[in-house]
Structure 1
Amino acid sequence: MKTIRNSRLAQAVRGALLFAMLPAVAVAQDEAAEEIKTLDRVEVTGTRLKTSEAEGLVPVQRITRADIERTGLTSVADIIQSLTGSGSALNTKFNSSGNFGFPPDGSGVGAGSAQADLRHLGSKRVLVLVDGIRWVNEASASGVGAATDLNTIPLAIIDRIEVLEDGASSLYGSDAIAGVINIITRKDFEGISVNAQVGQYGEGDGTTKSIDFAWGGGTERVNVFLGLSYTDQDVIYSRDREQAAFPVPGTGVAFGSSGTPTGRFIFIDPNTLAEYDVTPNDGASNPVFDPSQTGCSRTDDYHCFGTADRFNFAQYNLLLTPSERVGAFGQVRFQFSEAVSGYAKVLYNRRKSTNQAAPEPLFFGPEAGTGNPLADNIFISALNPYNPFGFDLDSATNLILIGRRPVEGGARVFEQEVDTWYVGAGLEGAFNAGERTLYWDVNLAVSENKAEQANYGSYNIRKIALALGDPAACAAVAGCVPLNIFGGPGTITPEMLAWIQPVVRDRSQNELALFTANLSGSLFDLPAGSVDFATGFEHRRLEGWYQPDALTIAGDYNGVPSLPTSGKYDVSELFVELNFPLYEDSAIGQRLDLTVAGRYSDYSTGISEVTPKVGLRFQLAEELVLRASYAEGFRAPSIGELFGSASRFDAQLNDPCSTPLLDPSLAGNCATLGVPANYQQPNPQISITTGGNDQLDPETSKSFATGFIWSPSFLENSTAAERVDFEVTYYRHEIEGAIQAIDAQTQLDLCVQTLDALYCDGITRAPTGGINGFNNRLTNLGTIKTDGWDIDLVWVFPASDIGQFKAAWRNTLVGDYEAVGAAGQVQPQGPGIEVVDSAIPEWTSNFSLDWSRGGWSAGWTMRYISELREECGNAVSFPVCSNPATGINVLEATTYHDLQVGYRFEEFHDLGLTFGVNNVFDKDPPICLSCSLNGYDASTYDIPGGRFFYVRADIRF
């Protein structure tokens, strides 16, 4: 594995700092971030304290409803993923069924869901709250998820989103290592609002329609809010975009599949011991094979298999997966007295989504590497009426590999239906204890996420084996008909398909029930002010299960096999947070506050953890606040990670022992591993067996953040600015015992390089040399370390005759990222590197300029992603690899431009009309050679590329 060095960070940091100091630019900071000294007693994400000094304790980014509407996006996840501090996360641009299989954490593929990642630490290390209450994890219908599907939360119900990019386990418990996303719902809403939007890509596809309805009202004591939401996103096929029309852009079908509609047959003739690697000629529906012809110049109906024969599976993939979401949310709040209020809320959300993959290939023989003994040890009888070779094809003796893709059965289509329920209720209030006021609340919530997936286009491998064997044995079973895999497309008849092609149905569910009780207020006074506190108790019960189709459990499924998963646990927690004002109005500053917090967690699985946090907030002057925090955190293993049963995913791996050897010095090691000389890997798709581990320890973390907020008074209400805010944060995260499996390609490379059992155990090879077993299980891998900077600036210009302007600029610069295995093996991820369908850009930046005058408004946004580098791999010999000499491909820096213009007719029920274009200059995402589908990194760039036009109308009564 080549090392790709971080060589541009220093320039990026210097550029960001210099640009931030220019008086003509600004940053994104929303209307909620008013002057910190003027806050009333409110609760802020990142602290449980309800004090006016709470703002500014930790870095929190707020996204208001107006900010959401300016994006033109219809998914919470898409909005979060556009933030500069976000990492690679699943979304509806991932066509994530098919060969994605089952990730080793037992979470399933999450097909159709959309998640959030902060600081590139993974979605399962981000805690999602709704109104401060933990939200249920997703059920993916292929496992028990450890992350939240943000598509379960309709946009119509959201007032604002608060994103804490700091470790917060001491305040919120497990899963908050990377940060917290707190979605605040709409409450004090009066009247009726209807919001409708329709958008489409310039190519005329990918139409997205949404309509939201909101109603609110009440009396002095009762307030009711109802929100309804509908979103429909149409499909975009890979074949409709030139870049995505082949497995690897710029390489034609060179990296296509050897599972073809005509079939690929590698075998040894038992009569002559000649080895063949042949495929029928096009149009030869009943091919004739002449065993006397041993070369590639043949006059029968076969020719030697070559690159041009490979199958272009990309034509069937999706760039944008269709998704339909319907949501309903109701909330009622009661004011029982001046001191006590209560609430009740309920949410229901249904998602219907679809993923699609190419027609499922059938691979047989020892080089198939499917992990299914029915396929790897297939026996095809010479008596099969369609067998043209005249002898048995036996995996134990003469069969090496058969690849046949039955296009007659159609594409693999995966349809998901996901239902989410949430019911919550609580009481909150205040009371006087002497001269002090204490605030309390109790909350009860029950939620469920249940998914069902129907898979059309897969096959029953046991029935296939029977149909390829002795015709007499097939005839003895009702419905069985001999199968023809030897002819071209169209030779597998409807009767054959009826015997071998089932509908596979999988189900899964995640449940969460919790009770919380909190108390906050002030304890006593110090010379500089009161000592404030917050304390509370939380009890959670989590339960999840995954039930694959009975066909899959029996081992008869030709696709990705898996076994059921089921597990549950509960946890009880206590937390306390204290704020000590150390001094006020001294010669060295206006105020210095020390905050300490701690949380004790006790799990029924035997885990007990104490997580502390300490922070300093130093208001040096009216306009300048310095802050620093240190936190320890942890993440308990999820249900899937603990209890996930053996399953499989298919990875594209380059065997280092395949000729020509990339490293000739490894020839001896390959021979030791049993690989014959001149072995060539026939199929790069290797099946990886995964599974949970009930001996896992929790992950532990250390987080540090420091920085400042500066609002220069000499610019406030001046001719140059109405307000200017400059914010800088340095962050550092370190995770020990990270739960994950070693990167499969890294494990394979290290096995061949070192022959160490640590890497080679679990990797087995057939006598022909090919990998036929690959065990890649979960472990507490080692460490993940990352650090970097957030640099933000906001500039609100004075109102004038031409209107008011507000400029905004946000930056995240990643200084270091390193993932190291328990034995010291360095994983391939790093700043400026693209690998495994994800990237860590060294510099991401969002700049926006908003204008308003009367009823008119307009906005311009620029989104920048710095240059990335990836290994060209086997594509190194193609022109699409930008630097063949080094084997490195460069994904050039990319900037997207978005435009929005609107007008509001106040005299007509405040009707607002908005027109917008995202990606104004029609920028295509850079080609990714290492990405597994479509040549794009769907979690980093705008996919599928091209302009997206939308219009929106909203009216209020």
Structure 2
Amino acid sequence: MSRNLKVIPLAIAQLVTAGAFSATFAATAMAQQQGADAGGQPMERVEITGSFIRRADAETPSPVQVITAVDMKNSGYTSVAEVLQHITANGAGNLSQTFSGGFAAGGSGISLRGLNNNATLILIDGHRMAPYPLADDGSRSFVDISNIPFDTVERIEILKDGASAVYGSDAMAGVVNVILKKNLVGTSISAEGGRATEGGGETTHVTFAHGMGDLATDGYNAYIGLEYRHQDPIKYTDRLGRGDWQSLDMSRHGGANKALGVITAQNTAPLTLSPYLLNPNVPRTSGADNSAAFAFFPGTACGSYAQMASGGCAYDDPYKEIQPKTENINLLASLTKQLANGWQADFKASLFQSQVRLPQGFSNFPSSYGTQLEMLSGVPPHYVAGTAIPAIRVPANYPGNPFGVPAILRGPIPNAPARNITTDSKAYRVVAELHGTAAEWDIDASLGYTRNNLSRQSTGGLNVPALNAALNRASNPYSVYGKNTDADMANIFRTVSSYDTSELAFAELRGSRAVAKLPGGDLMLGVGVGSFRTELSAPAMPNPDGYTNGAYAFGSETDTSAYMEFVAPVLKNLEIDGAVRYDHYSLAGSSTTPKVAFKYTPSDSFAVRGTLSRGFRAPGPAENGNSASSGGVGSASDAVLCPGGYRADGKYPKGTVIASCNESLIGLTTTNPDLKPEESTSATFGIILEPVKGWSSTVDLYQIKVKDQIVGGPLSGTPVRNAPEPSDCADGNGGSTICTPSIGRIAYYPATPINANSTRTRGIEFGTRYRFNLGDYGRLKTEFQYTHAFSYVMTIGGVAYQLAGSHGPAGIGADTANPKDRAQFDLNWEKGKWEVAGSMHWISSYDLTDPTSGQFNCADGGTMNGVFPTGNTPDYFCRVHSFLETDMTVNYKLDKQWTFHASVTNLFNKQPPVDVSTYGSGRPYNLSLHSAGAVGRFVNVGVAYKF
């Protein structure tokens, strides 16, 4: 057995050695003669993703995976996003709705080959969709796959090859084409519901579809489909005690204790479940008795310093969630009409709505309030003078303050309303298509308009100046525990909202025909022209204090294109394909992208295929339009205002601006109109085997190299500073006083995106399918898919970093990591009224290193989030263990009308492996790869009725 097979779980390995597999690709028999079936009758020619020329042979020179509606139903999942995120070609940079803290919170994207979600083109019925209005990491545009309907999908075709020569920008890593149903007859109703056996996550999924007319007999078909899906949240408090993956206390392993409410060397005044007071003039020293600095309110959950010091004030945040509350409503109307002379018209209109509630945790008393950075379109980012509050304090005479000096409030604000961000995404789509034949040309014409309206609402936001003023009123100040007036509550806790839109309109005209006879068949030529226009309007959401300082992006761009392709069966067993496309972007300039491919079939049981192509990705409005985004880039001491650096004992020299000794640094990125498009070169080479009828296999090598990748440019070495304002300064005796330094605190470090990096990834994909006829015991179908990355090399500043099997590149899409191997094994058995389907999804282990972030060994790798700050990461955590998810579905067809089904995902309740370097979940596990483990076993049952 090979070394690679040894790392695959034993259950899969045994099946591999037995040869009981299936192909990942929807392959028709290779023995089919082009244009005719075995009986010599003309075969229907269809369009396969990756080419606009209709063909009879579904096994193209490019590797294409097909997921049918039956496959989706048997997966046990109830959303397109869940299905796509489990495919083996999905890699680093994918985005999940569970990442509540991202720039594009609420959206979900797929990343083929780990090249990020903006290098994967998402299509519906071969046409583009308007992207999600919010960009991933503030810069990468992507199509939100969480609001694509589930029940009206006929199939999903995944092209795992560069396809810019046919589709243009964004198809460097491949294409996902979601194909909706064209012919639906009768009425069907289905309902299903499920929940996690560990608690939480209740899901309801209801569908209704009604179709009239049959294309074959009536010449038309019209249908409507309505789908509703609701998912309740799963909280971390539902999973307490399940293992280290959900623990914030790594002290028992020699690491840091990051649990809430616990005193540590880094945090001598932790946030607890109840507020308390701190004396700012009493220094606190790690490991010492600091009780003189604390004052607790009577009757609170954390009522004394002794209780805090002993760990009795520790708690788990009841707001943090493993998966959020979501709701989807999808409505699709379709009309397909046969016209005279073989022409056909197709109209589709749809509304796909996705709502997500993302909790933001407690409203805590802030310790200070810095000068507000205001970011508005058309105005250079600027700080608003006079908005800084040096320290949020209660006065010396505040009820319960025993210190005789203004005191610091720590902890949550009692009775504060819940803090949530709710996103409501509505994707509108209207498309008209016309297909037919004229003068021996197969003609396809289409017009379409798509729009994504995103409403965001933030509730319970804290207006810090209003809170500070209310706490310091001379009479009737804001009460920590008493009842406060409705006017105070409305002024201090505010609801703010924003409205973002993304639009895309397109027009396309294509034609193809046979232009000559070759020894292997007709030489087919395809030509086409098209244009699409995108517009983005994504203003920043205002703060509760009235200032606007979030990311914003505005812009519009028009692409005009022309393309040509050919399919040349130069011999009966040799096909050569080619394509070239020209695109002109109004902002990014022009690109010409060619592609050539071949398929050689020396026998009915064996074929060789390969492709070579160029690709590109045009910069989006968030990169070269009118946009800005800010984000944390770490913390450090200000060499000017805190020349001695951070001191754990707090005893700074007189005049030191204390807050500048541990400054949270902000990077502010604005756009760069001089950006060039990213460019790629991709190649595949593979074989197709069908040694016996019903057993087919494919092996494909791939390589994709992307250059001129658009990344955030280096931060300027000279920061932009605020104007000098009164600040907390050291008095030289361990206490503080108010002073106004001669220079302002650091505001931000400016940066712009640049064309800098390059990435090259190489790998292999293996797929095999086998169908067994078991006679009286039914039929058995097996499928196996395996993807292995030989390398994933990112070059930054001329230095190449190998990231395959590592945690890099960090900072992209919730730090998703780069495992080398993913595998999926599917088993489907049918007999009479019964159908049983099982799937195993396996993700290999990976280590904590990320050379792009200076983490070259395990000791470095564990320090990313301060879990093991001394670099002493235990061997057990140096490598994130592999993960195997097992799913099962059972269908029982009672009669022609009634079908019952039940499914279980993560059947064996496998827990996620510990990952101490990831950050997206806030816990030491990787939410992009191992969320199924955090959710746990999930049981779903349902019924469908057709009439």
Q: Give your verdict on TM over 0.5.
A: yes
Range moving further from structure 2, 249-258 or 640-649:
249-258
The SS at the match of 1:84 is: coil
Query: Which position in structure 2 is the counterpart of 1:146?
Result: 141
User: CA separation of 1:382/1:514 partners in 2, compared to 1, >3 Å: closer, same or farther?
Assistant: closer
Contact 1:460 1:556 in 2 (8 A): no
Q: Among residues 930, 946, 953, which one is paired with 2:943 in the alignment? A: 953
Q: Among residues 629, 636, 641, which one is paired with 2:623 in the alignment? A: 641
Query: Which position in structure 2 is the counterpart of 1:176?
Result: 171
- The answer to whether the aligner puts 1:796 opposite 2:771 as a matched pair is yes
Contact 1:633 1:701 in 2 (8 A): yes
Range moving further from structure 2, 243-252 or 345-354:
243-252
User: CA separation of 1:119/1:770 partners in 2, compared to 1, >3 Å: closer, same or farther?
Assistant: farther
User: CA separation of 1:145/1:411 partners in 2, compared to 1, >3 Å: closer, same or farther?
Assistant: farther
Contact 2:135 2:142 in 1 (8 A): no
Query: Equivalents in 1 of 2:321, 2:278: separation in Å?
Result: 34
Query: Which position in structure 2 is the counterpart of 1:115?
Result: 109
Pairwise CA distance, 1:239: 1.4
Contact 2:703 2:761 in 1 (8 A): yes
- The answer to whether the aligner puts 1:849 opposite 2:827 as a matched pair is yes
The one-letter amino acid paired with 1:575 is Y
Q: Among residues 330, 334, 359, which one is paired with 1:331 in the alignment? A: 334
Q: Among residues 900, 906, 920, which one is paired with 2:889 in the alignment? A: 900
The SS at the match of 2:934 is: coil
Q: Among residues 102, 124, 128, which one is paired with 1:130 in the alignment? A: 124
- The answer to whether the aligner puts 1:710 opposite 2:722 as a matched pair is no
Q: Among residues 67, 80, 83, which one is paired with 1:79 in the alignment? A: 83
The SS at the match of 2:166 is: helix
Query: Equivalents in 2 of 1:461, 1:536: separation in Å?
Result: 58
User: CA separation of 1:563/1:527 partners in 2, compared to 1, >3 Å: closer, same or farther?
Assistant: closer
- The answer to whether the aligner puts 1:50 opposite 2:40 as a matched pair is no
Query: Which position in structure 2 is the counterpart of 1:833?
Result: 807
The SS at the match of 1:499 is: helix
Query: Which position in structure 2 is the counterpart of 1:676?
Result: 645
Map 1:712-727 → 2, pairs under 5 A = 712=691, 715-716=692-693, 723-727=694-698
Give the aligned CA root-mean-square deviation in angstroms.
Answer: 4.3
The one-letter amino acid paired with 2:767 is D
Query: Equivalents in 2 of 1:325, 1:895: separation in Å?
Result: 29
Query: Which position in structure 2 is the counterpart of 1:530?
Result: 522
- The answer to whether the aligner puts 1:740 opposite 2:711 as a matched pair is yes
Pairwise CA distance, 1:592: 1.6
Where in structure 1 are there 5+ consecutive unaligned residues?
Answer: 1-6, 103-108, 267-276, 394-400, 476-480, 585-590, 659-669, 717-722, 748-757
The SS at the match of 1:944 is: helix
Residues 197-251 of structure 1, C-alpha deviations (whole Å, 9 max, x = no match): 2111112421111111222221622211221111111111111112589673645
The SS at the match of 2:627 is: coil
Query: Equivalents in 2 of 1:53, 1:938: separation in Å?
Result: 40
Contact 2:245 2:925 in 1 (8 A): no
The one-letter amino acid paired with 1:912 is T
The one-letter amino acid paired with 1:378 is P
The SS at the match of 1:838 is: coil
Pairwise CA distance, 1:122: 1.0
Pairwise CA distance, 1:581: 2.8
Contact 2:233 2:323 in 1 (8 A): yes
The one-letter amino acid paired with 1:223 is N
User: CA separation of 1:482/1:820 partners in 2, compared to 1, >3 Å: closer, same or farther?
Assistant: farther
Residues 512-570 of structure 1, C-alpha deviations (whole Å, 9 max, x = no match): 10000000111122344322111111110100101234547x8736xxx3254321111
Identical columns (%): 24
The one-letter amino acid paired with 1:87 is G
Q: Among residues 929, 937, 941, which one is paired with 1:940 in the alignment? A: 929
TM-score (norm 1): 0.80
The SS at the match of 1:705 is: strand
Query: Equivalents in 2 of 1:174, 1:676: separation in Å?
Result: 48
Query: Equivalents in 2 of 1:806, 1:381: separation in Å?
Result: 69
Query: Which position in structure 1 is the counterpart of 2:535?
Result: 543
Range moving further from structure 2, 60-69 or 496-505:
496-505
Contact 1:81 1:89 in 2 (8 A): no
Query: Equivalents in 1 of 2:186, 2:914: separation in Å?
Result: 49
Residues 488-508 of structure 1, C-alpha deviations (whole Å, 9 max, x = no match): x77988664433221111110
TM-score (norm 2): 0.81
Q: Among residues 430, 449, 457, which one is paired with 2:437 in the alignment? A: 430
User: CA separation of 1:874/1:633 partners in 2, compared to 1, >3 Å: closer, same or farther?
Assistant: closer
Contact 2:197 2:936 in 1 (8 A): yes
Contact 1:316 1:356 in 2 (8 A): yes
Pairwise CA distance, 1:940: 0.8
The one-letter amino acid paired with 2:498 is D
Query: Which position in structure 2 is the counterpart of 1:159?
Result: 154
Query: Which position in structure 1 is the counterpart of 2:668?
Result: 689
User: CA separation of 1:575/1:407 partners in 2, compared to 1, >3 Å: closer, same or farther?
Assistant: farther
- The answer to whether the aligner puts 1:575 opposite 2:543 as a matched pair is no
Pairwise CA distance, 1:929: 1.5
Pairwise CA distance, 1:279: 7.5
Residues 430-466 of structure 1, C-alpha deviations (whole Å, 9 max, x = no match): 123xxxx320011000111101111112222443455
Contact 2:89 2:112 in 1 (8 A): yes
Q: Among residues 198, 223, 226, which one is paired with 1:225 in the alignment? A: 223
Query: Which position in structure 1 is the counterpart of 2:851?
Result: none
Query: Equivalents in 2 of 1:731, 1:307: separation in Å?
Result: 57
The SS at the match of 1:565 is: strand
Query: Equivalents in 2 of 1:280, 1:808: separation in Å?
Result: 52
Query: Equivalents in 2 of 1:872, 1:429: separation in Å?
Result: 61
Query: Which position in structure 2 is the counterpart of 1:419?
Result: 426
Range moving further from structure 2, 33-42 or 807-816:
33-42
Query: Equivalents in 2 of 1:414, 1:498: separation in Å?
Result: 18
The one-letter amino acid paired with 2:909 is D
The one-letter amino acid paired with 2:791 is D
Contact 1:91 1:112 in 2 (8 A): no
Query: Which position in structure 2 is the counterpart of 1:396?
Result: none
User: CA separation of 1:289/1:319 partners in 2, compared to 1, >3 Å: closer, same or farther?
Assistant: closer
- The answer to whether the aligner puts 1:869 opposite 2:850 as a matched pair is no
The one-letter amino acid paired with 1:795 is Y
The SS at the match of 1:897 is: strand
- The answer to whether the aligner puts 1:215 opposite 2:210 as a matched pair is yes
Query: Equivalents in 1 of 2:866, 2:425: separation in Å?
Result: 42
Query: Equivalents in 2 of 1:705, 1:492: separation in Å?
Result: 68
Pairwise CA distance, 1:139: 2.6
The SS at the match of 1:139 is: coil
Range moving further from structure 2, 309-318 or 194-203:
309-318
Pairwise CA distance, 1:710: 0.7
User: CA separation of 1:671/1:353 partners in 2, compared to 1, >3 Å: closer, same or farther?
Assistant: closer
The one-letter amino acid paired with 2:360 is A
User: CA separation of 1:164/1:422 partners in 2, compared to 1, >3 Å: closer, same or farther?
Assistant: same
Pairwise CA distance, 1:820: 2.6
Contact 1:375 1:461 in 2 (8 A): no
Query: Which position in structure 1 is the counterpart of 2:511?
Result: 519
Pairwise CA distance, 1:146: 1.2
Query: Equivalents in 2 of 1:60, 1:562: separation in Å?
Result: 40
Range moving further from structure 2, 857-866 or 575-584:
575-584
Map 1:292-441 → 2, pairs under 5 A = 296-299=289-292, 301-302=294-295, 314-361=317-364, 363-365=366-368, 378=390, 385-386=397-398, 405-432=412-439, 437-441=440-444
Contact 2:624 2:675 in 1 (8 A): yes
The one-letter amino acid paired with 2:805 is P
Map 1:443-454 → 2, pairs under 5 A = 443-454=446-457
User: CA separation of 1:384/1:510 partners in 2, compared to 1, >3 Å: closer, same or farther?
Assistant: farther
Query: Equivalents in 2 of 1:16, 1:613: separation in Å?
Result: 40
The SS at the match of 1:239 is: helix
Pairwise CA distance, 1:785: 1.3
Contact 2:76 2:887 in 1 (8 A): no
